[in-house]
Every structure is written in structure tokens, then in C-alpha cells.
Amino acid sequence: MDVIRTENLTRDFGDVRAVNRVSLSVGEGELFGLVGPDGAGKTTLMRLLTAILDPTEGDAWVIGRHSVREAEAIKDSIGYMSQRFGLYPDLTVLENVNFYADIYGVPRRGRMEKVERLLAFSNLFPFKKRLAGNLSGGMKQKLGLACALIHTPKVLFLDEPTNGVDPVSRRDFWRILYQLLRERVTIFVSTAYLDEAERCARLALIHRGALLATGTPEQVKKLMPGAILEVRAESPREASVALRSALVECSVGLFGDRVHVATRDPAGMEPAINAALRGAGLQLRSVRRIAPTLEDVFVSVLAENPARGRNE
């Protein structure tokens, strides 16, 4: 059963097409990732699905309800955590959760047990009397999640929930999401972190409002044409600049102390790599073929579709 479904969903802001004919589906209890750079259309698509914005064209259904004709019914059944979730810094952790419980009409009877369970679930119980404004970034995100879950939503929408959060807090946040999946909560999460996208059951790559690919992480990786060569050389940053300049038909990216070269001709590329580095006065240490990461695929797909998603 599809809990989320869209057909040619489109949203224009004047002459700018922010979401371009998006069609996708998300099953019950699925963790679905929307992956793309800043300005790709992730937040606009999220707001269309949560019935905050109306589409210019196309349709969306969430839990079987139409996003325009049954907008209020959708809002009652979902949890939504925006990039800047509306926590109140002068209220305590407990007061923030109770405030959202009031907004969602959570009955007073049995509420305290539910609140305490949520705070324990998110490791916030020891901090329930602390002002939200005095929490760390990761703790604020977990508090935002607790507030979004107070009315027991069937679908949870998270817009870049770990943006700017330290690695340990990111790991804790995802641990909480996996616990929710065991309770059959459907999670639709947007992220710019490709390592987080690997955690999703399925994902969609979005760029300039259009979907470039949809599938499991392994299926998406298979969409990349050619192969990835990992180049190790002295001065990796200078090496990436030299290779990008010389190998104009290839996609070149810097990954830490190594350079990835996406090419359709891996067997014949090593001499060209060696020549390009030698011409820049750099020494090649090694070249080897490796399995592509999602980041490799995304960079490669963007290079293949530079204008995809523009107004047509």
C-alpha cells in the first residue's frame, strides 16, 4: 500500500519552477530519502506533501487523502519537522512537548505517560526541565522530533533534520528513526548527506526540481555510466584541478586525500591521468578501479543532465 503518492507534481514561483513533474510513491513503513543539493527543490516538495503549499499542477496523496481537497485531514495524521522547527527557547523541554500536545489536541488523560515515554525514547528525560534555548544542536533536533511525534503520526516528514548537527548526534538521531520504523511509521526524509542516503530503503535524487533517479541505493548506483577510478597523487587538491582541466569528458571529484574520476573508458584512462598529472608537475602514486559511492553517482548524473529540471 502506497502511503505517499504523487503524479506530475509541479510548483512554480513566478517564472521559477521549483518542483518539476515529480511522480513517486512510498510504501507503508518505508524509510524514503529525498537527496539533493541546496536549492534542488527538497523543501518545496516536502511542503507540497504536507499540504502547506498547493501545487501549480499535478496531484499528491498522503494516507489516501488528497493534498489540496483533504489538506486538514492530512495535517492531523502526519508529523512534520521543518529545517527550523519552531521550538520555544524560553520554555523547558517538557513545556515544549506539552505545548505541541495542546496544538495537536492530545487528550490530557494518559498524556504524561506518553510524554515521558517520548522523552525517554529520545534520551531527553534527564533534561526535561532545561530551557530549550540552552540545548545543544543535536538535542534541539531530538526535541523537535519528540514534538512532531506527540500525536502518534502515521507518516513522519523530516526536512534535513541533521543539517549542522555533529556526527555523534546524527548517529543518535538515526538510531531513533530506526526504532520508529519498527513501529511501522513511514518516514520521508530529505538530506544533503550522501552517507545518510545509504541508510534509506529507497531514495530519489532531485536536482533543479526534477527527479533524476529513484530506487534502492544499490539500484541507483547501477545507473552511473562507466566506472570510477580512484587516483592517489601528491597534492590531491592540485591533482583534482589538473585532472578536471585535462579530462574534460570525465567527471572529477575530490574525496579527502583521493581523487575520483568517472569515465566510460577505464582501461584507457590511466595514461591520460598520468600525463595530466605529469604536465602539472605532480607525481601519480596509484590508480585503481573502485565501486561507486552515491556521491559519485550523483555527481556523474548531474554531469549527464546539467539542465534537467529547468523550465521547459
What CATH number does the domain containing 161 carry?
A: 3.40.50.300
Contact 189, 19 (CB under 8 A): no
170 is written with which cell numbers?
546524527
Shared domain check, 132 and 15: yes
Rounded to an integer, the average pLDDT of 189-195 is 89
**302 in a domain, yes or no?**
no
Residue 308, pLDDT above cutoff 50: no
Residue 86's pLDDT is 82
Rounded to an integer, the average pLDDT of 216-225 is 86
**255 in a domain, yes or no?**
yes
Shared domain check, 55 and 187: yes
Shared domain check, 257 and 205: no
Residue 35, pLDDT above cutoff 50: yes
Last residue of some domain: 216, 237, 259? 216
Shared domain check, 147 and 283: no
**312 in a domain, yes or no?**
no
Shared domain check, 135 and 275: no
**82 in a domain, yes or no?**
yes
Residues forming a β-bridge with 188: 32, 157
Residue 312, pLDDT above cutoff 60: no
| 56-106 residue pLDDT tens | 999 999 999 999 999 999 988 999 998 877 889 999 999 999 999 999 889
Residue 52's pLDDT is 96
What span, in angstroms and rounded, lies between the C-alpha atoms of 180 and 183?
5
Rounded to an integer, the average pLDDT of 288-293 is 90
Shared domain check, 203 and 242: no
- The least confident of 76-80, 197-201, 221-225, 291-295 is 221-225
Q: How large a percentage of the chain has pLDDT more than 70?
A: 96
Shared domain check, 285 and 263: yes
What span, in angstroms and rounded, lies between the C-alpha atoms of 224 and 213?
10
Shared domain check, 233 and 211: no
Q: For the chain, give the mean pLDDT.
A: 90
Shared domain check, 127 and 243: no
Contact 141, 124 (CB under 8 A): no
Supply the range of the domain harboring residue 268: 227-291
Shared domain check, 234 and 266: yes
Residue 310's pLDDT is 39
* Cα 294-209-215 angle, rounded to 5 deg: 40
Per-residue burial over 218-234, b if 16 or more Cβ lie within 10 Å, else e, is eebbebbebbbbebebe
Last residue of some domain: 156, 181, 216? 216
What CATH number does the domain containing 263 carry?
A: 3.30.70.100
197 is written with which cell numbers?
542516503
Shared domain check, 202 and 59: yes
Residues forming a β-bridge with 5: 25, 61
Total domain count, the chain: 2
Residue 304's pLDDT is 64
**91 in a domain, yes or no?**
yes
Model confidence at 223, pLDDT cuts 50, 70, 90, reads confident
Contact 113, 99 (CB under 8 A): no
Shared domain check, 166 and 86: yes
**198 in a domain, yes or no?**
yes
**310 in a domain, yes or no?**
no
**221 in a domain, yes or no?**
no
Last residue of some domain: 181, 216, 251? 216
